[in-house]
Amino acid sequence: MRTVATHLKIINQFFEIEKKLAHLSGAESTQRHLARIRDHFNELGFQIHVPLGESYPDTRTDCEASIAGTSTEDLVITDVIKPIVHLAEDGAPLLLQKGVVITKSRS
């Protein structure tokens, strides 16, 4: 379990790097390596999902969300602070880390 906890810390740092590089011009050559790192995490059983832009209905419980603005209807995820991480265990995915997100109403 300690190894899994450490992997999770690495995944969170990886996510930060990915986020920063996406805004950096000239960093396109790093995309390949980022994709490879993701593949290696997949090999270990981790699924990393960044739910940016996805809907956030009342039934969605894979994130911890804060709601910006006044309305609470028809929410969409506008910022991702930590990604959703699942760990595949014998085919059944385990929700290892809830995504930490900011949401806002579409209307």
Partner 1 sequence: MINFGIDLGTTNSVFARYQEGNVEIFKNPIGHKETLPSVVGFRNERILIGDKAREYLEKDPRNVFGSFKRKMGTDESYWVESIQQVKTPVDLSAMVLKELRNFIYTGEIPDSIVITVPASFDTIQSNATKEAGYQAGFGEVLLLQEPIAASLAFVNKTTEKTDRKWLVYDLGGGTFDLALVETKYGEMKVIDHEGDNFLGGLDFDNRIISRIIIPYLDRIAAFENLDHDLHSSGGKYNKLYYVLQKKAEEVKLTLSAALTASIEFEIELPDGSTKEVYFDITRAEFENVIRDLVIRTIDIVRLVLERNELQPNELNCILLVGGSTFTPCVREWIAQELDIIVSTAIDPTTAIAAGAAYFAGTKRKQFISPAKPANFQDLSIKTGYAKVSQDTEEYFVAEATGKIDNLQYRLTRADGGYDTGLRQFNSRITEFLQLLPQANNQFELRIFDAQQQLVYHDSSIQIVSGKYGILGQPLPHDICIEVDDKENNTTKLELVFARNSSLPLKTTLTKSVSKTIHTASGDSIVINILEGNQGAIPSSNLSIGIIEIKGDQLSVDLVKGSDIEITLEMSESRDLRVTTYLMMSDQEFTNLFTPSARHVNINKLLDEIKGLHFAVTQEIRAANIREEYEVSQRLSALINTLNDAEAEARTIAVDDVTDRKYQLDDKKKFVAAQMDMLTRDKLKMSAKLDYFNTRNKAQDVLVSHGNDEEKTRFSNLLKQEKQILSGDTTPAIESLTTQIRKIINPIYFRTPAYLISIYHYYASLDEYPDASEAASLKDKGDRSIANSNYEELRYIINKLHTLLPRKEQEKANIKGTGIS
Which residues are at the interface with partner 1 (CB under 8 A)? 32, 35-36, 39, 47, 49, 57-62, 64-72, 78-79, 81, 84, 86, 88, 91-95, 98, 100, 102, 104
CB of 30 to partner 1, least distance (A): 13
Strand partners, 101: 65, 80
CB of 57 to partner 1, least distance (A): 8
- Location of structure tokens 């911890």: 64
Q: Which of 7/60 has CB closer to partner 1?
A: 60
Largest CA distance in the chain: 43
Token couple for 41: 């995490």
Residue 53 DSSP label: T
